[in-house]
C-alpha cells in the first residue's frame, strides 16, 4: 500500500483454537504507511496537548491520521480567512480610508 492509502474492508473475529470465524462482520480499514499525530509537550512547564478527536462539536474521522486532522482543519481555516477578509474590507467606525 502507498503512503496514506486506506482500503476499506470487512473483518470478522477468528476463534484462536478452532480457526473458525465467529461474531458479526465489522467495517475496518487497512492503512498503508502514515504519520501519526502525537502528544505535544512543553517540557518547561510540563504542559501537554493531545491530538484532537473532536472539532467544532463533531468527531474527526480518522483522527489518528495527520491527514484526517488536516481535512478537519481546512474548512475552519478557510472560514477564518473569509471572516478576516470581511473585517479588512469593511470600514471601521471612526476611521477614514
Q: How much of the chain exceeds pLDDT 70, in percent?
A: 95
**pTM for the whole structure:** 0.57
Instruction: Return left, alpha or beta for 5; rule: phi > 0 is left, psi -120 to 50 is alpha, else beta.
Output: beta
User: Dmax of the chain from CA atoms?
Assistant: 81
Confidence of residue 93 (pLDDT cuts 50, 70, 90): low
Sign of CA dihedral 23, 25, 29, 30: positive
Domain ranges of the chain: 52-91
Amino acid at each position: 500500500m502507498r503512503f496514506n492509502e486506506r482500503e476499506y474492508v470487512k473483518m470478522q473475529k477468528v476463534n484462536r483454537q478452532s480457526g473458525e470465524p465467529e461474531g458479526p462482520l465489522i467495517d475496518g480499514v487497512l492503512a498503508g504507511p502514515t504519520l501519526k499525530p502525537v502528544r505535544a509537550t512543553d517540557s518547561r512547564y510540563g504542559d501537554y496537548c493531545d491530538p484532537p478527536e473532536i472539532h467544532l462539536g463533531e468527531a474527526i474521522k480518522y483522527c489518528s491520521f495527520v491527514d484526517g486532522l488536516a481535512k478537519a482543519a481546512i474548512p475552519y481555516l478557510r472560514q477564518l480567512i473569509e471572516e478576516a477578509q470581511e473585517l479588512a474590507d469593511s470600514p471601521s467606525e471612526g476611521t477614514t480610508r
